[in-house]
């Protein structure tokens, strides 16, 4: 993915976006504890303007944790929106902070797991989780070990250039998630390739598997297909915020030695269970505002 700048990005229709990016750049020069306060405050204030997303978050949490009482559910949604605001700040940190400044604010658990997996030279499929700090997590992963990552190209050419430039500050390449051939080639070449199978990508290329208390959650079979085509190992990487504004911890799991490669349905259920365990590290930081259960089996009504 090229980082080459196109002068067309300076056209007037992009000036408002440039202004917003400039404000974000200036903002993230502030000390991290101040950024944490600003991000949380912005997130809390955004609930007033994001009522639809608030309803989705409540519904997702209700579906996944049916035994949770209303008070606890309300607290989680409140914390989730604080986390959402912090996610915007962390995007600026990921794109604009120096390597030295990023390194000051994270530590790593399980780095040897990644090193051992890569030493086998079979390629490593890195399963990611949509925590709000995802963008910063990608920058942190690259500082530990430069990787490749799957992504969906941005609709805005300017934002596509900015996010690609930011992500390639510490990683090797970005691969369109629909480019199966490139993904398989990278894995067969022994690369570590990050992707996130924890969202509802629609009925095409998906199977239904349990996710928390929802018995039928549309789950991409891309994990299973890539595994079979590439022969790569799988492990999971997630990053969550520490308490009391003390930064972040990157968690790298052991290789999934018991991943059921011969059965697509079982494989989807297996990956969902792995994702569940990662989410429970900090459930309030997960992307609950995404309609995770929008795709339903034939004959079922919408859960939203």
Given a contact cutoff of 8 angstroms between Cβ atoms, the answer to whether 27 and 86 are in contact is no
**Contacting residues for 252 by C-beta, under 8 A, at least 6 apart:** 108, 109, 110, 111, 113, 114, 235, 236, 237
Name the E strands within the chain.
Answer: 106-109, 124-127, 148-151, 173-176, 192-195, 206-211, 214-220, 233-241, 248-252
Integer Rg of the chain from CA:
19
Strands of the 106-109 sheet, one edge to the other: 106-109, 248-252, 233-241, 124-127, 192-195, 148-151, 173-176
pLDDT of residue 3: 64
- The secondary element (H helix, E strand) that includes residue 286 is none
Which residues, in sequence order, are bridge partners of residue 238? 251
Distances in Å between the alpha carbon of 83 and those of 19, 45, 281?
24, 12, 14
Per DSSP, 300 falls in state: P
Residue 82: which of 129, 46, 48 has the closest Cα? Answer: 46
Which residues, in sequence order, are bridge partners of residue 257? none
Q: How far apart are CA 280 and CA 236, in angstroms?
A: 14
pLDDT of residue 4: 79
pTM for the whole structure = 0.94
pLDDT of residue 245: 83
Residue 233: which of 119, 124, 128, 114 has the closest Cα? Answer: 124
Q: How far apart are CA 155 and CA 303, in angstroms?
A: 28
The pLDDT tens digits along the chain (304 residues) read 456 788 999 999 999 999 999 999 999 999 999 999 999 999 999 999 999 999 999 999 999 999 999 999 999 999 999 999 999 999 999 999 999 999 999 999 999 999 999 999 999 999 999 999 999 999 999 999 999 999 888 999 999 999 999 999 999 999 998 899 999 999 999 999 999 999 999 999 999 999 999 999 999 999 999 999 999 999 999 999 998 889 999 999 999 999 999 999 999 999 999 999 999 999 999 999 999 999 999 989 999 9
Boundaries of every domain in the chain: 13-285
pLDDT of residue 244: 81
């Amino acid at each position: 993915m090229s980082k080459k700048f196109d002068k067309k990005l300076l056209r007037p229709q992009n000036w408002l976006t440039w202004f917003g990016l400039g404000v974000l750049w200036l903002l993230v020069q502030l000390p991290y504890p101040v950024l944490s306060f600003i991000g949380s405050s912005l997130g809390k204030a955004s609930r007033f303007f994001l009522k639809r997303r608030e309803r989705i978050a409540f519904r997702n949490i209700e579906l996944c944790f049916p035994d949770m009482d209303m008070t606890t559910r309300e607290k989680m949604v409140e914390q989730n929106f604080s986390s959402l605001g912090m996610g915007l700040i962390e995007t600026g940190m990921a794109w604009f902070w120096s390597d030295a400044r990023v390194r000051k604010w994270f530590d790593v658990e399980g780095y040897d797991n990644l090193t051992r997996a890569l030493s086998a030279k079979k390629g490593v499929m890195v399963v990611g989780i949509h925590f709000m700090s995802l963008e910063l997590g990608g920058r942190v992963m690259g500082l530990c070990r430069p990787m490749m990552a799957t992504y969906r190209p941005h609709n805005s050419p300017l934002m596509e250039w900015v996010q690609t430039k930011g992500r390639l500050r510490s990683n090797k390449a970005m691969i369109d998630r629909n480019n199966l051939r490139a993904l398989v080639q990278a894995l067969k070449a022994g690369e570590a390739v990050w992707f996130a199978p924890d969202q509802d990508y629609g009925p095409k290329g998906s199977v239904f598997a349990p996710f928390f208390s929802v018995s039928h959650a549309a789950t991409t079979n891309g994990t299973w297909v890539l595994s079979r085509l590439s022969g790569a190992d799988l492990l999971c990487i997630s990053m969550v915020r520490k308490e009391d504004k003390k930064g972040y911890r990157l968690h790298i799991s052991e290789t999934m030695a018991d991943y059921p490669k011969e059965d697509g349905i079982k494989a989807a259920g297996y990956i969902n269970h792995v994702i569940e365990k990662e989410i429970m590290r900090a459930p309030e930081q997960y992307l609950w505002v995404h309609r995770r259960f929008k795709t339903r089996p034939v004959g079922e009504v919408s859960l939203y």
